[in-house]
């Protein structure tokens, strides 16, 4: 009987221990999985990077610049114009309270060039082109097109991934610059044309308040975001078949969602890190 009681106590103790350590085990497993994916992504990026300069890449890179960059320009201009308008509107009313509406150009320009330009551009491209990249590569994976490349001795990383990462690195800064310019125009329309701020002051402040570091910092951020977005989106698509939570078309859908959400989160996290390093 004593043995039974000990055994019962042992079982109870084990259950209690499991209850207490359970949440830590879940966190631990999630952390290991994260580190695992982080390492795999880094190797994935490195291998894709090493294949950028192989032969026959130029045409594919130009094609991807067209898909990722040129075809995103309209949506970037639309978003940046209204972002600039809202920025002009809010800033004007805030500055008027202090009689400082002359600083409108400074506020709009610096906000756009340092922060909103790179961040919103990256988020917009992640939503438009990043999701398309993940879905396209994911479908190629589940329909064995990537395996077919392997059997034809065509390196899938060279053929599919390197051009997209390179095109992103080229396109993001260009689209960020476009965002900044059109955003400033939006600020001008709302602040000057609609609310009556002085046009010359606005233009003068925009020109004089920015120095070259503001512009280069913004562009450095956009390059960092380009690497993050393109790697995350390509990685999610490329390893769609490894998902344990779903298969087939559903896996492509979930990979696409994961790619966009993860890209947006990492853009904001890395924005803080890069800003703190550059400031």
Partner 1 sequence: MESPLIEFRDVTKRFGVRSVLEQVNLQIYEGQVTTIIGLSGSGKSVLLKHIIGLLKPDEGTILFKGIPLSEMKKGESAANFAQISYMFQDNALFDSMTVYENIALPLRETTNLSKAEIDLRVMARIEQTELKDAAHKYPSELSGGMQKRAALARALVTDPRIVLFDEPTTGQDPVRKNAILGMIAQYQRKFGFTAILVSHEIPDVYFISNRILALYERSIVFQGSPEELEDFNHPFKDEVIRSLEGLQNELTGLYSKRQFKVMHHVQLKQTTSGATYCVAVFSLNDLDIIRAGAGYDAAQVAIRSLGTYIDKHFGAIGGFSTRRRSNEFVTVLPYSDLTEAESILKDFVKDFQEQGIHDVWAAARKQTPSARCIEFTVRAGIAQGQPVADIDSVIDAAKSQQKEIARLRCDGRR
CB of 144 to partner 1, least distance (A): 4
Most distant CA atoms of the chain, gap in Å: 95
Between 36 and 144, CB nearer to partner 1 = 144
Q: Which of 79, 103, 80, 78 is nearest to 91 (CA)?
A: 103
Count of all residues that appear for the chain in the document: 279
CB of 159 to partner 1, least distance (A): 7
What's the gap between Cα 103 and its chain centre? 31
What is the phi-psi region of residue 211: left when phi exceeds 0, alpha when psi lies from -120 to 50, beta otherwise?
beta
Task: Give the torsion sign (CA, 215, 127, 138, 57).
Answer: negative
Between 121 and 240, CB nearer to partner 1 = 240
Q: Give the Å distances, CA to CA, from 272 to 11, 226, 258, 277.
A: 48, 16, 21, 9
CB of 160 to partner 1, least distance (A): 11
Give the tokens for residue 80: 């940046």
Footprint on residues 84-123 left by partner 1 (CB under 8 A) = none
Residues 6+ apart with CB under 8 A from 82: 186
Between 140 and 176, CB nearer to partner 1 = 140
Burial class (CB in 10 A: 0-12, 13-18, 19+), 241: middle
Regarding 256 and contact with partner 1 (CB under 8 A), the answer is no
CB of 147 to partner 1, least distance (A): 6
Between 148 and 194, CB nearer to partner 1 = 148
Between 63 and 246, CB nearer to partner 1 = 63
Footprint on residues 15-34 left by partner 1 (CB under 8 A) = none
Between 30 and 148, CB nearer to partner 1 = 148
Contact 109, 250 (CB under 8 A): no
Give the tokens for residue 90: 């809010």
Instruction: Sketch the per residue contact string, 46 through 75, with partner 1: x for CB under 8 A, - otherwise.
Output: ----------x-------------------
CB of 134 to partner 1, least distance (A): 15
CB of 232 to partner 1, least distance (A): 22
Count of residues of this chain found to bind partner 1 when the rule CB under 8 A is applied:
14
Contact 191, 89 (CB under 8 A): yes
CB of 169 to partner 1, least distance (A): 23
Footprint on residues 123-182 left by partner 1 (CB under 8 A) = 136, 140, 143-145, 147-148, 150-154, 159
What's the gap between Cα 113 and its chain centre? 17
The binding site for partner 1 (CB under 8 A) comprises 56, 136, 140, 143-145, 147-148, 150-154, 159
């Amino acid at each position: 009987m004593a043995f039974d009681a000990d055994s019962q106590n042992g079982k109870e103790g084990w259950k209690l221990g499991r209850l207490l350590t359970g949440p830590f085990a879940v966190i631990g497993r999630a952390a290991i999985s994260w580190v695992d994916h982080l390492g795999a992504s880094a190797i994935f990026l490195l291998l894709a990077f090493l294949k950028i300069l192989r032969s026959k890449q130029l045409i594919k890179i130009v094609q991807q610049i067209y898909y990722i960059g040129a075809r995103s320009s309209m949506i970037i201009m639309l978003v940046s114009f209204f972002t600039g308008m809202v920025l002009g509107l809010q800033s004007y009313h805030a500055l008027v309270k202090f009689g400082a509406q002359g600083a409108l150009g400074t506020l709009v320009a610096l906000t756009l060039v340092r922060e909103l330009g790179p961040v919103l551009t990256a988020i917009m491209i992640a939503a438009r082109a990043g999701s398309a990249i993940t879905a396209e590569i994911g479908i190629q994976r589940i329909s064995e097109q990537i395996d077919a490349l392997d059997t034809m001795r065509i390196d899938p990383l060279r053929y599919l991934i390197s051009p997209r990462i390179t095109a992103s690195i080229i396109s993001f800064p260009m689209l960020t610059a476009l965002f900044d310019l059109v955003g400033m125009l939006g600020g001008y329309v709302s602040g000057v044309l609609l609310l009556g701020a002085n046009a010359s002051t606005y233009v003068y402040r925009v020109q004089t308040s920015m120095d070259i570091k503001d512009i280069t910092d913004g562009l450095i951020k956009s390059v960092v975001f380009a690497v993050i977005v393109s790697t995350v989106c390509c990685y999610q698509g490329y390893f769609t078949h490894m998902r344990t939570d779903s298969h087939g078309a559903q896996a492509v859908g979930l990979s696409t969602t994961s790619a966009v959400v993860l890209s947006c989160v990492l853009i904001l996290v890395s924005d803080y890190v890069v800003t703190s390093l550059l400031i």
